[in-house]
Amino acid sequence: MTRSTTQVLAGILFVCLGACSADKITDNSKLVRLAVIPPSVTIKPSAQQLFVAGGITSAGDTGVVTNPTWSASAGTITTGGLYTAPAALGTYYVRVTAGALMDSGKVIVDTDSTVLVRIVVFPHSATMAPSTSTDFAALGITTLGDTTIVTNATWSASAGTVTSAGHYTAPASVGIYYVRAHSGTFTDSAMVTVDSAGPAPYFADNFDSYSVGTTLNGQGSNGFTWAGGAGSSGGAAAISADISHSGTQSLKLTYVGVDTGQDDWEEQYFVLKPAGQGLKEVWMEWYVYFPSNYAYRSKESPNNNKLGYLWAETYSVSSDLNSGLEYEGPADGDSVHAHITLRSAPNGTDITNGDAGSYHYGIFDPMTVAGSWHRLRYHVRAATPNGSGGYSENGTFQVWFDDSLIVQSKPTYVIYTTISPANNLWRNGYLMGWANAGYTNNTSFYIDDFKVWDVNPGW
């Protein structure tokens, strides 16, 4: 593992440790990546620094490795990762091993380089159920730009309780609260949204009830039906035991590698409601696993890759009700960073910065999403007829990536069909879709924990 890869992994894991309530990895045989967290620090002579062994398993889970072996080129380190620097100035290394994997972190011992210039609470926001618990951490930024864990921060909370180690327990009442860390003259806070469990989805599927290799066509409940899958070269989506977000199985969609300038597509179709019925408003949630070899090929035209699509009766962006979730490279085509684009009728309008008020680069950067699961939430509402042959300005859409709201439409945006007001209902859809930028190598995405609501789940 190269240093750059280790640093990226460490950053992903450190944020996840707070957001995921410090999940633990106890079986070293399942590890595929290991990282010292933080990867580089600068501390004073004889000072202490806590290191953590972060890992990624073959299933894509991240967490703290509970039984690693620690060693140091100078100074001492305990079995729990607490390092004590030597008295002599210099550059030293802390090493961690777990199974067949190894990583090392750099320690610079200097007399005045650990002066903090800022502290940051991670995660910076969290959503919790009443009376549940999660962990926060305080990161310190030094004068040299190094990142260190602040072990002596003073913690406080506007409601609920928080320990001296940053372990927070939410109050019994719903609401928005704050957890604060204080060190010296520096303070930072994280917002906590405490909300009770929302209504159950009218359809949910974790794909564990099917045999491996099953293609989804005709299964479903409560009016929702899986309607088959297709692809230009990778075949239909099918149930797989390769990897899962929960349970033991997921839905696998493979894009076959193609030459530059060529495209590929993989789609899993579904029907939200039977013929003659539909939903005025839809909330969908699903988890997507971006494989470790995921690489966005931006130098294509067009270069949009889809993650999902909804429409009314016919698949036509010029006349029917449509809304698609896509991502593209920036205009210069030189970066792997991406943004969200939503398409809605009429006339295949692209919803970008001017329409939605949201435009985010870096969301699908392979350096931050490859080899990990990410949650997508998608909320869309069709405009209602105004009684005068037109539509009210009350259509909307929202997209969340993990816990971040990344797309928010204008409050007056109209999403409607040109066919008839009676057809202004969401009825059909698919997951994934065209990769118009294509993939150089075979690239398999996995979907798990798919849910659909016809009432507000309380996001």
Contacts of 92 (CB under 8 A, 6+ apart): 72, 73, 74, 75, 85, 86, 106, 107, 108, 109
Q: Could you give the C-alpha distances from 371 to 16, 288, 293, 357, 449, in angstroms and in order?
A: 14, 10, 8, 30, 18
Q: Tokens 């004068």, residue?
A: 143
pLDDT for residue 390: 63
Spell out the domains of the chain, with CATH numbers in brackets.
3-109 (2.60.40.10), 116-194 (2.60.40.10), 203-453 (2.60.120.200)
Q: Tokens 């009728």, residue?
A: 345
Report yes or no: 409 and 356 within 8 Å, Cβ to Cβ.
yes
Q: Which segments of 38-185 does DSSP mark as H helices, in order? A: none
pLDDT for residue 409: 65
Q: Burial letters for 430-440: b for 16+ Cβ neighbours within 10 Å, e otherwise? A: bbbbbbbbbbe
pLDDT for residue 446: 97
Q: Which two tokens stand for residue 17?
A: 């440790």
The sign of the dihedral angle between the CA atoms of 147, 149, 155, 160 is positive
Instruction: Output phi, psi for 59, to 5 deg.
Output: -90, 0
Model confidence, pTM: 0.58
Distance of CA 426 to the CA centre of its chain: 26
Q: Which of 278, 321, 330 is nearest to 303 (CA)?
A: 330
pLDDT for residue 331: 46
H or E stretch including 353? helix 353-356
Residuewise pLDDT in 10s, the chain (459 residues): 333 334 434 444 444 433 333 467 888 888 888 989 888 888 889 988 889 898 888 877 778 898 899 999 999 999 989 999 999 999 999 999 998 899 999 998 887 655 677 888 887 778 788 888 888 888 887 766 666 778 889 999 999 999 998 999 999 888 889 999 998 888 999 888 888 767 889 999 999 999 999 999 999 999 999 999 888 766 789 999 999 988 899 999 999 998 888 888 999 999 999 877 888 889 999 999 999 888 877 656 666 788 898 887 777 654 566 677 777 665 433 333 444 444 444 433 444 333 443 344 456 666 678 888 888 988 888 777 666 766 666 667 778 888 777 776 655 444 544 445 556 788 899 999 988 888 889 999 999 999 999 988 877
Integer Cα distance of 229 and 64 in angstroms: 38
Q: Which two tokens stand for residue 264?
A: 């590929």
3-state secondary structure string across 407-443 = EECCCCCCCCCCCCHHHCCECEEEEEEEECCCCCCCE
Q: Do β-strands 428-435 and 404-408 pair in parallel, antiparallel, or remain unpaired?
A: unpaired
Q: Do β-strands 52-57 and 31-37 pair in parallel, antiparallel, or remain unpaired?
A: antiparallel
Integer Cα distance of 10 and 65 in angstroms: 13
Report yes or no: 377 and 407 within 8 Å, Cβ to Cβ.
no
Q: Could you give the C-alpha distances from 65 to 23, 56, 105, 106, 224, in angstroms and in order?
A: 9, 9, 16, 19, 41
pLDDT for residue 300: 61
Integer Cα distance of 111 and 87 in angstroms: 10
Q: Could you give the C-alpha distances from 354 to 359, 380, 381, 446, 454, in angstroms and in order?
A: 9, 18, 19, 32, 29
Quickly count: other Cβ atoms within 10 Å of residue 58's Cβ. Answer: 12
Q: Tokens 């392979």, residue?
A: 366
pLDDT for residue 389: 64
